[in-house]
Amino acid sequence: MTAEIISGKELSTQLRNELAEEVQDLKVTPSLAVILVGDDPASHSYVRGKEKACRTAGIHSIVKRHPTSLREDELIAEIDALNEDSSVHGILVQLPLPEHISEDAVIERIAVNKDVDGFHPVNVGRLLTGKKAFTPCTPLGIMKMLEISGVDPRGKHAVVVGRSQLVGRPVGQLLLNKDATVTYCHSKTKDLAFHASQADILIAAAGREGMISEAHVKEGAAVIDVGVNRVESTGKLTGDVQFEEVKEKAGWITPVPGGVGPMTITMLLHNTVEAARGTMFNDES
């Protein structure tokens, strides 16, 4: 079997065009504030990608760039100001932050209704209890890719490799909310190949170049590659999945680049439009 390749790039083009039309019909121009601390080239590159994507969708974006030496209290003060500013609908603090700044303290400071990353504990808790919430962009993008491919998680065995707060945990939760049977694997898992090869839906989110081989994959499975690893020798990006061999066995597969990455940014635009509508928490009980 040769897998169907799910192009996050193509799907993103379509969804971003649809978002641009939605934006035209809004009374306000959605506005996203991105805070970037330090000089990590990958972070700067991601943030440029976000700025560009905002422009094409008609979303206003402001990027606040700071040196690594920025103090935590200065960052908190900036977030407070953005929380107060009614012209700003979404706030994203690019991670990771320098070691002297507490990521938890910073994320908790962001207003829940501007938390377009879905990292605030209130949004995390709402997701866990099945309520409407800002949902982390990468997991949301993954669910969209499965949906568009006609892969319904209900009753399927989903195996998630990785349990981070940003990717692994929330994607497992979304799959559970869609009635999948979910297994999480992580660095202490014994016999990863045994667990992974049981999966109807396999999410590879460990950040380990090429760790998922053909031996980890069940015939016909949907394989979603979240990993973004830069190969030292070539400078190229590659995923956690050995694409060439796995595509001969899987039913569906996502490439890197051009898979989950572009969808993450598309879902950020989606969440920003949602924040600008301001109706996420309207039916609060």
Ligand X SMILES: NC(=O)C1=CN([C@@H]2O[C@H](COP(=O)(O)OP(=O)(O)OC[C@H]3O[C@@H](n4cnc5c(N)ncnc54)[C@H](OP(=O)(O)O)[C@@H]3O)[C@@H](O)[C@H]2O)C=CC1
Ligand Y SMILES: Nc1nc(=O)c2c([nH]1)NC[C@@H]1CN(c3ccc(C(=O)N[C@@H](CCC(=O)O)C(=O)O)cc3)C=[N+]21
Residues annotated within the binding site for NADP(+) are 162-164, 228
Q: Which does 75 bind (CB under 5 to 8 A by kind): ligand Y, ligand X, none?
A: none
173 labelled catalytic: no
Cβ proximity to ligand X: between 2 and 187 the closer is 187
Cβ proximity to ligand X: between 75 and 206 the closer is 206
117 labelled catalytic: yes
- Joined together, the tokens standing for residue 101 give 């700044």
CA–CA separation, 186 vs 194, rounded Å?
13
Interface pattern 174-213 for ligand X (x via CB under 6 A): -----------xxxxx--x------------xxxx--x--
Using the contact rule CB under 6 A, the part of the chain among 69-77, 127-135, 160-168, 193-201 near ligand X is 160-168
# residues contacting ligand X (CB under 6 A): 26
Instruction: Give me the amino acid identity at 119.
Output: F
Cα dihedral sign, 279-282-284-285: negative
Are the C-beta atoms of residues 3 and 43 closer than 8 Å to each other? no
Which residue in 114, 115, 117, 247 is the catalytic one?
117
Cβ proximity to ligand X: between 58 and 261 the closer is 261
Task: Give yes or no for residue 237 binding ligand X (CB under 6 A).
Answer: no
Which secondary structure element, helix H or strand E, spans residue 128, and what is its range?
Answer: helix 121-128
* Mutual angle of helices 8-25 and 260-277, in 10-degree steps: 10
Instruction: Give the strand pairing for 31-37 and 60-66.
Output: parallel
Restricting to residues 210-229, name those near ligand Y by CB under 6 A.
228
Indicate which single residue of 37, 46, 174, 271 sits in contact with ligand Y (rule: CB under 6 A).
46
CA–CA distances in Å: residue 252 to residues 7, 39, 42, 153: 10, 37, 28, 14
Order of strands, sheet of 60-66, starting from the edge strand that comes earlier in the sequence? 60-66, 31-37, 90-93
Which 3 state secondary structure label does DSSP give 10?
Answer: helix
50 labelled catalytic: yes
Residues binding ligand X (CB under 6 A): 138, 161-164, 166-168, 185-189, 192, 205-208, 211, 226-229, 260-261, 264
Residues binding ligand Y (CB under 6 A): 45-46, 49, 92-95, 117, 137, 228, 237, 256-258, 261-262, 264-265
Catalytic residues: 50, 94, 117
